Amino acid sequence: MRGDTVIVFARAPRLGVKKRLARGIGAMAALRFYRAQLAATVRQARDARWRLVLAVTPDQARARWPRGVSRLGQGRGDLGQRMARALAGRRRAVLVGSDIPGLSRDDLARAFRALGRADAVFGPAEDGGYWLVGYGPRRPATPFADVRWSSRHALSDTLANFAGRRVALLRRLRDVDTAADLPASRRMR
Per DSSP, the three-state class of 53 is: strand
Whole-number Cα distances in Å, 44 to 53, 96, 141, 186: 13, 11, 30, 16
Q: Mean pLDDT across the stretch 158-185? A: 91
In this predicted structure, the answer to whether residue 62 has a pLDDT above a threshold of 90 is no
Per DSSP, the three-state class of 11 is: strand
Task: Specify the pLDDT at position 51.
Answer: 97
Nearest alpha-carbon partner for 10 in 20, 21, 19, 18: 18
Q: State phi, psi for 95 to the nearest 5 degrees.
A: -125, 135
Residue 163 sits in a domain whose CATH number is 3.90.550.10
Q: What is the pLDDT of residues 68-92, one digit of tens each?
A: 999 999 999 999 999 999 999 999 9
Domain count, the chain: 1
Instruction: Please state the pTM of the whole predicted model.
Output: 0.93
Strand intervals (E) in the chain: 5-11, 51-57, 70-73, 93-96, 120-124, 130-135, 167-169
- The whole domain housing 116 covers 5-188
Rounded Cα distance, 162 and 105, in Å = 26
